[in-house]
Amino acid sequence: MHSLVLTIVSIGLLAAMLAASVSYLPYWSKDAANTEALVSSGFVELERAFELQASLNGDVPAPVVPSADDGGLTSNFISLLGFIPQPPSGYRWVYGQHISDASRYSDMYYFCLMPTQAGPTPKGRELGISRFKAQAGIDQYVLSDHCGASVDLGSPSNISLHATYYVLYTPGM
């Protein structure tokens, strides 16, 4: 009788332990949270370096496209940052300037999160990158299929998602 009670209690404890260890979150939720944290902290650090560079030199350095694969991010900002913020897996940071056109972004500087490989962005990273839009200014953060875009495509899952974060520079400020 004693063995039967111990067996029933053991089965009950095992069932409770199994039920508690089951994850009810989607497989990509951890990737989305990690990506969101890296994107948020990265863009904030890069924007701060941009502001410091502008105040120290009275102007910001021009991007060096295409001579540097990061648009001159490392050469222009590494002395202020000490390091380049870690991008999400499969991405890299790029510094650039929007071309002169009739859009609101004409001649504005930006930092871009660019995929290192072609193909659709994985679901978790797509959501993590998209969530930063809630922190950024409504038109300051553009999600598209290329860096320096002026039209926000949202976050369609059939493209290699690029995230462009525009920073405003006013000389003398």
Q: Using one digit for the tens of pLDDT, what is the confidence trace for 27-74?
A: 878 888 999 999 999 999 999 888 888 888 777 888 876 556 788 888
Q: Is residue 155 predicted with pLDDT exceeding 80?
A: no
Q: Which pLDDT score, from 0 to 100, does residue 41 have?
A: 93
The answer to whether 71 and 65 have CB atoms below 8 angstroms apart is yes
- Tell me what the mean pLDDT of segment 156-171 comes to: 81
Q: Which of 20, 165, 172, 167 is nearest to 91 (CA)?
A: 165
Residue 34, class by beta-carbon neighbours within 10 Å (0-12 exposed, 13-18 middle, 19+ buried)? Answer: middle
Q: Which pLDDT score, from 0 to 100, does residue 63 have?
A: 82
Give the pLDDT band of residue 168 (cuts 50, 70, 90).
Answer: confident
pLDDT tens-digit profile of 75-93?
Answer: 888 877 788 899 998 999 9
Question: Is the pTM here over 0.85, yes or no?
Answer: no
Share of the chain above pLDDT 70, in %: 91
